[in-house]
Amino acid sequence: MSRDTALVSADWAEKNLETPGVVFVEVDEDTTAYDGGHIPGAIKLDWKKDLQDPVRRDFVNQEQFSALLSGRGISNDDTVVLYGGNNNWFAAYAYWYFKLYGHGDVKLLDGGRKKWELDARPYAKDVPSRAKTSYQASAPDLSIRAFRDEVVQSIGVKNLVDVRSPDEYAGRLLAPAHLPQEQSQRAGHIPTAISVPWSKAANEDGTFKSNDELSKIYGEAGLDGGKDTIAYCRIGERSSHTWFVLKELLGQQNVKNYDGSWTEYGSLIGVPIALGDEPGKA
Amino acid sequence: MTSPSNVAAGCAAPDQSAPLPAGVDLEKETVITGVVRNGDGEAVGGAYVRLLDASGEFTAEVVSSPEGVFRFFAAPGSWTLRALSRSGNGDLTVDAARGINEVAISVAAA
């Protein structure tokens, strides 16, 4: 995977709105933005209602993912172009799901809704109807998903990348600053994790920085190219953004997203936690 | 502490024009809220408002409501607000204290 195959520009998108076999999908937690206007022809996925299991604390399984995409009229051989708000956080999360379940051709729209809005590109309000398909998801590719035990064993061994804001990393805030700070878990970060906020990878308009800039940012932060990497944030969506950068744009091998992230780790009994701005010791 | 039911489990921005959630304790929270306006004083909805910490590091971003309203839950200290919109961009520095801090951001084409 590389930048050319994983990412499309807003210009490319606007030229391919009606191209057969290309499906635009807006992904967000709050889908009112889609309802008020979206990229013409795009369908929506609700991160919480569509992509999370309604009972278990997990995302949809292979069968649920197959049923979801079949119902929305997406085929295995479609080119799926994902975009959303929040600088593509949830679109990147969905991208990771599509990869996990083996979709052949999935891309992220560079800059997402923000770039589209700031460019004053067109919106539509009508919801397209697509014929149902028989989508077949593959068994989950767990080479890109980290679970808590592996994370604990990776302290001081693998690259751990904490992509939350500096104040969340240090333990001064418990959640991103657009949410109330009530949380039930402890604050801090996983010992030895380096701090590279996801936002370092993005320009102000939401587009990704160049590969040269990205390599420099992670190199200077101490990412060891010879080691496997696990990225985490609070609930796994901002770390999907960084996972996308490391795996899909920079082409690094063995990069996993820990979707349990701080909400899980910071609630575990007995695991080590580091406070403050330094990574801390294993 | 428990999370109130009206707080999103995820990271998407809650409705920016809604009243403060009932569970928000203003004795503890530092709320930075305000309106984005253009050069003619009109509210700018759909603006991307970002909160940067004292070192200029990105902390959070929300989209202003149709009435131009935005809101952050931060911590006491110095913050920079930056708004991007179709009507142009604007910046503002705020020294926030515990409780509600009201500000106004003007945007203009460069």
Q: What is the pTM of this model?
A: 0.89
pLDDT confidence of residue B29:
84
Alpha carbon of A134: minimum distance to chain B alpha carbons (Å): 30
pLDDT confidence of residue A182:
52
| B98 at A interface, C-beta within 8 A | no
Distance CA B107, CA B86 (A): 9
B32, B61, B64, B86, best to mutate vs chain A, most A CBs in 10 Å: B61
Alpha carbon of A32: minimum distance to chain B alpha carbons (Å): 9
Provide the residue count of chain B. Answer: 110
Domains of chain A by start residue, with CATH = 3-140 (3.40.250.10), 144-265 (3.40.250.10)
Size of interface A-B (CB pairs under 8 A): 113
Residues of chain A with pLDDT under 50: none
Q: Which residues of A touch B74 (CB under 8 A)?
A: 173, 177
Q: Using 50, 70 and 90 to split pLDDT, how confident is the model at B2?
A: very low
* pLDDT at B4 > cutoff 70: no
Domain topology for B30-106 = Immunoglobulin-like (2.60.40)
pLDDT confidence of residue B87:
85
Cα–Cα distance list, B72 to B30, B33, B51, B64, B97 (Å): 8, 6, 8, 11, 13
Give the residue on A whose Cα is nearest the Cα of B85. A118
Q: Name the A residues in 168-187 with CB < 8 Å from any B CB.
A: 172-173, 175-184
pLDDT confidence of residue B95:
96
CB contact under 8 A, B72 and A178: yes
CB contact under 8 A, B11 and A33: no
CB contact under 8 A, A183 and B3: yes
pLDDT confidence of residue B1:
33
| A256 at B interface, C-beta within 8 A | no
Nearest to B24 among A173, A180, A199 (CB): A180
Residue predicted with more confidence, B9 or B1: B9
Residue predicted with more confidence, B17 or A23: A23
A93, A182, A267, best to mutate vs chain B, most B CBs in 10 Å: A182
pLDDT confidence of residue B57:
86
pLDDT confidence of residue B14:
64
**What ipTM is given for this predicted complex?**
0.76
| B5 at A interface, C-beta within 8 A | no
pLDDT confidence of residue A181:
55
Asked whether the beta carbons of B4 and B22 are under 8 A apart, the reply is: yes
| A262 at B interface, C-beta within 8 A | no
Q: Among all residues of A, which ones are annotated catalytic?
A: 233
Distance CA A209, CA A51 (A): 28
| B100 at A interface, C-beta within 8 A | no
Spell out the domain ranges in chain B: 30-106
pLDDT, one tens digit per residue, over A249-272 is 999 999 999 999 999 999 999 999
The DSSP code sequence of B90-105 is EEEEEEE-SEEEEEEE
pLDDT confidence of residue A46:
94
| A121 at B interface, C-beta within 8 A | no
Give the residue on B whose Cα is nearest the Cα of A32. B15
pLDDT confidence of residue A191:
98
Q: Which residues of A touch B23 (CB under 8 A)?
A: 180, 182
Residue predicted with more confidence, A243 or B23: A243
Give the residue on A whose Cα is nearest the Cα of B15. A30
Asked whether the beta carbons of A74 and A42 are under 8 A apart, the reply is: no
Q: Which residues of B touch A165 (CB under 8 A)?
A: 53, 57-60
* pLDDT at B81 > cutoff 80: yes
pLDDT confidence of residue A25:
98
Alpha carbon of B9: minimum distance to chain A alpha carbons (Å): 9
Mean pLDDT for chain B overall? 83
| A90 at B interface, C-beta within 8 A | yes
pLDDT, one tens digit per residue, over B47-71 is 999 999 888 888 889 999 999 999 9
